[in-house]
Amino acid sequence: MDHYDGIANLMFEMGNLKRIKRTGWWIAGIKDPESIAEYSHRVSLLGTILAALEGADPARTCLLGTLHDIPETRIGDIPHIGRAYLSAKSAESIAADQVADCPDEVNYTIKDAIDEFEAASTSEAKCAKDADKLECLIQAVEYQKTGATTVGPWIDNSLKALKTDSAHHIAHAVINGESLAWQQSRSKE
């Protein structure tokens, strides 16, 4: 297979991230929750912002956020409770399979980012990991504001997992904050 065919196949595979749902929300009773792609997009935005606040590299953090869940096209989004029943190969080894038919420079770029995210030792990886948790908290608050009474555990557990000061400050502003619809009320003034 030609290298461009390898990239085309990888992109068709990544298209699944638009369809694969975040399974935790099903447990909370949300019938049609966000996709992995939708989730990853705001993780990237949050990572960018956390990096800017924490003195890390925003672009690198954005890249880690964009790529960190790509192995889920192969294994799905395993719910928390599933970890008691499943053991998975490492994200690094799954990503290596995913990019195996791509040219070297693509292959390297993607694997290197997955490795950095998983190792969680750079400032950028720490910000991306916090973005991953903070996104879950914000989405839970949004589901709560539209009626769900079931999302408390997601808010509590995400909050406990945050490491950076900036993520803590944003989390508290989200929890205590204005309505989602602040734009609407303000734009009517």
Q: Name residues contacting a second copy, limited to 75-94 (CB under 8 A).
A: 75-89, 93-94
SS3 assignment, position 99: coil
C-alpha 108/C-alpha 54 separation (Å) is 27
Cβ atoms of 108 and 67 closer than 8 Å: no
Number of residues that bind a second copy (CB under 8 A): 106
Q: Name residues contacting a second copy, limited to 98-117 (CB under 8 A).
A: 102-103, 105-106, 108-110
- Residues contacting 83, CB < 8 A, separation 6+: none
Give the one residue of 100, 119, 120, 180 binding a second copy; rule: CB under 8 A: 180
Give the one residue of 138, 155, 159, 162 binding a second copy; rule: CB under 8 A: 138
C-alpha 104/C-alpha 6 separation (Å) is 11
Least distance from a second copy to the Cβ atom of residue 75, Å: 5
The H or E element that residue 105 is part of is helix 104-119
164 near a second copy, judged by CB under 8 A: no
Least distance from a second copy to the Cβ atom of residue 60, Å: 5
Q: Which of 90, 103, 89, 91 is nearest to 10 (CA)?
A: 103
Least distance from a second copy to the Cβ atom of residue 91, Å: 10
SS3 assignment, position 20: coil
Residue type, 134: L
Q: Name residues contacting a second copy, limited to 32-71 (CB under 8 A).
A: 32, 34-35, 37-38, 40-42, 44-46, 48-49, 52-53, 57-60, 62-63, 66-67, 70-71
188 near a second copy, judged by CB under 8 A: yes
Closer Cβ to a second copy, 5 or 120, answer by number: 5
